[in-house]
């Protein structure tokens, strides 16, 4: 089973349960200046979660393209992604906890054929704002979840809200047991040891968090769920990382073939940032110095730096784009339509960055010469900032050069 199979199973299953399948919203939010990108399936649905009537009814499902920027610097490890796809189903004042949990359990155990013993769930432990969610725990027991696979946690783990203000509520989360040995006697789904991997989150959205931190009840009770496609695809295939699945395998193999350096982290960064950039550009994003354009510029430039680290000829970049689009076009047909634009934008930004690097490197060595003449062997923060602010030379590149330059091993943080 691959990612497309899982997506299709999900949509078909929820369609059979009376849900209307709605299209994915664009990555560039429409009429929402409060966010840079669409970060979750519920984001375009907020007006309907607050009571406005959706033209397609009260039961909806979709796959949603998402970009989250908080983990860009973590990309390169075994799990963080900037772009990902979220499968979701919603009840807008229709069903609530019982039907939601029963449908999720049925999909996981019947459609995806995950044994119950591989699953654990968490529910909200309760606090002054909302009661302990004994109802969800009772439903989980009724469908067949063993008592010792049900855990209670507080707001940090089992309460969901997008931002500081807005619709929110307790959630129940589903975890897949990878089979790893427990990290301790108290190992449980809240651990970050890798034994338990969160796969699905059902939010029971019945509250609204006000700006002053207080909670009020919504006009209607909603269900908002999110199932990460790349993550469940990885687990069902028994892979260690998303980069080992068919989504990334062809581009990973090509990068490794072209590379003159063996650097798994850089290989993953190139593969992930290239896919993320392609998806953002396809939905209308363009590089710039502000907001979402800056995020795209940062992705392309970080990818370019790691192509250099791998000693891959940058003339190979159009071929890598072609390969990525060919691999992903069945999932996202619009990539093929926009292929030439995607290539043009990425290559032009790469060329601009290479000029920036060349000019910035000259200024870097001028600064080094000046400091050496002053018998100094440490870059000061003012110099590092000037290289970035005046010449666009990234501080992380300055840091790399300083480490490789004789007597300039120390680096001033800015």
> Residue 194 pLDDT > 90, yes or no?
no
> Residue 325 pLDDT > 90, yes or no?
yes
> Residue 387 pLDDT > 90, yes or no?
no
Average pLDDT, the chain: 92
Please report the pLDDT score of residue 414 as a whole number.
37
> Looking at the DSSP assignment, which residues form a beta bridge with residue 215?
209
Look up residue 259 and give its two tokens: 């590379």
Please report the pLDDT score of residue 391 as a whole number.
82
Query: What are phi and psi for residue 196, nearest 5 degrees?
Result: -105, 130
> Residue 412 pLDDT > 50, yes or no?
no
Beta-carbon neighbour count of residue 235 at 10 Å?
Answer: 21
Q: Quote the CA–CA distance of 383 and 257 in Å, as a whole number.
A: 38
pLDDT digits (tens, 9 = 90+) for 87-110: 999 999 999 999 999 999 999 999
Q: Quote the CA–CA distance of 46 and 66 in Å, as a whole number.
A: 16
> Residue 29 pLDDT > 70, yes or no?
yes
Percent over 90 (pLDDT), the chain: 74
> Residue 407 pLDDT > 60, yes or no?
no
Scored b (16 or more CB within 10 A) or e, 358-393 reads: eebbebbeebbeebeeeeeeebeeebbeebbeeebb
**H/E stretch holding 78:** none
Please report the pLDDT score of residue 28 as a whole number.
93
223, 89 Cβ separation under 8 angstroms: yes
In the block, tokens 């003159």 appear at: 260
> Looking at the DSSP assignment, which residues form a beta bridge with residue 225?
202
- CATH code of 3-240, in short, is 3.30.930.10
85, 64 Cβ separation under 8 angstroms: yes
Kindly state the greatest CA–CA separation across the chain.
77
pLDDT digits (tens, 9 = 90+) for 95-148: 999 999 999 999 999 999 999 999 999 999 999 999 999 999 999 999 999 999
> Residue 409 pLDDT > 60, yes or no?
no
Residue 191 carries which DSSP code? -
Rounded alpha-carbon distances, angstroms, from residue 260 to 116, 189, 263, 321, 389: 46, 40, 9, 19, 32
Please report the pLDDT score of residue 37 as a whole number.
94
> Looking at the DSSP assignment, which residues form a beta bridge with residue 63?
87
169, 135 Cβ separation under 8 angstroms: no
> Residue 275 pLDDT > 90, yes or no?
yes
Angle, vertex CA 68, rays to CA 354 and CA 290, nearest 5: 50
Please report the pLDDT score of residue 70 as a whole number.
85
pLDDT digits (tens, 9 = 90+) for 197-255: 999 999 999 999 998 989 999 989 999 999 999 999 999 999 999 999 999 999 999 99
Angle, vertex CA 241, rays to CA 263 and CA 163, nearest 5: 105
Least confident of 136-150, 275-289, 358-372: 358-372
Domain boundaries, the chain: 3-240, 248-411
Question: Which alpha helices (DSSP H) does 3-96 contain, by range?
Answer: 3-16, 46-49
Average pLDDT over residues 56-60: 97
Q: Is 124 helix (H, G, I), strand (E, B) or coil?
A: strand
Average pLDDT over residues 152-173: 91
Average pLDDT over residues 56-84: 91
What pTM, to 2 d.p., does this model score?
A: 0.90
Average pLDDT over residues 307-311: 94
Please report the pLDDT score of residue 71 as a whole number.
79
> Looking at the DSSP assignment, which residues form a beta bridge with residue 174?
121, 200
């Amino acid at each position: 089973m691959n990612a497309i199979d899982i997506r299709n199973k999900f949509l078909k299953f929820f369609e059979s349960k009376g849900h209307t399948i709605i299209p994915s919203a664009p990555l560039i939010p429409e009429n929402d200046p409060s966010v840079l990108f669409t970060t979750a399936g519920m984001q375009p649905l907020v007006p309907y979660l607050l009571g406005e009537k959706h033209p397609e009814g009260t039961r909806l499902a979709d796959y949603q393209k998402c970009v989250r920027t908080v983990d860009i610097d973590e990309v390169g490890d075994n799990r963080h992604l900037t772009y990902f796809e979220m499968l979701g189903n919603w009840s807008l004042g229709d069903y609530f906890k019982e039907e939601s949990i029963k449908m999720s359990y049925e999909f996981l155990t019947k459609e995806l054929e995950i044994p119950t013993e591989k699953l654990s769930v968490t529910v909200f432990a309760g606090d002054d704002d909302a009661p302990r969610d004994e109802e969800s725990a009772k439903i989980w027991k009724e469908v067949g979840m063993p008592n010792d696979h049900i855990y209670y946690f507080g707001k940090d783990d089992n309460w969901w809200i997008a931002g500081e203000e807005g619709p929110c509520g307790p959630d129940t989360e589903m975890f897949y047991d990878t089979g790893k040995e427990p990290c301790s006697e108290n190992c449980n789904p809240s651990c970050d040891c890798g034994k338990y991997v969160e796969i699905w989150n059902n939010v029971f959205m019945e509250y609204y968090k006000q700006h002053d931190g207080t909670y009020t009840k919504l006009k209607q009770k909603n269900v908002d769920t999110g199932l990460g496609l790349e993550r469940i695809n990885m687990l069902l295939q028994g892979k260690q990382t998303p980069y080992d699945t068919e989504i990334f395998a062809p581009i990973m193999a090509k990068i490794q073939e072209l590379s003159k350096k063996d650097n798994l982290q850089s290989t993953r960064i190139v593969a992930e940032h290239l896919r993320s950039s392609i998806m953002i550009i396809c939905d209308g994003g363009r590089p710039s110095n502000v907001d979402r354009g800056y995020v795209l510029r940062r992705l392309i430039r970080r990818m370019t730096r790691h192509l250099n680290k791998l000693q891959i000829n940058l003339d190979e970049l159009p071929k890598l784009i072609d390969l990525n689009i060919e691999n992903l076009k069945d999932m996202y047909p619009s990539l093929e339509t926009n292929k030439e634009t995607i290539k043009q934008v990425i290559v032009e930004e790469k060329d601009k960055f290479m000029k920036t690097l060349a000019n910035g490197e000259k200024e870097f060595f001028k600064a080094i010469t000046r400091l050496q003449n002053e018998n100094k062997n440490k870059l000061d923060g003012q110099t590092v900032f000037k290289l970035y602010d005046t010449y666009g030379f990234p501080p992380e590149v300055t840091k790399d050069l300083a480490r490789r330059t004789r007597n300039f091993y120390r680096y001033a943080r800015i």
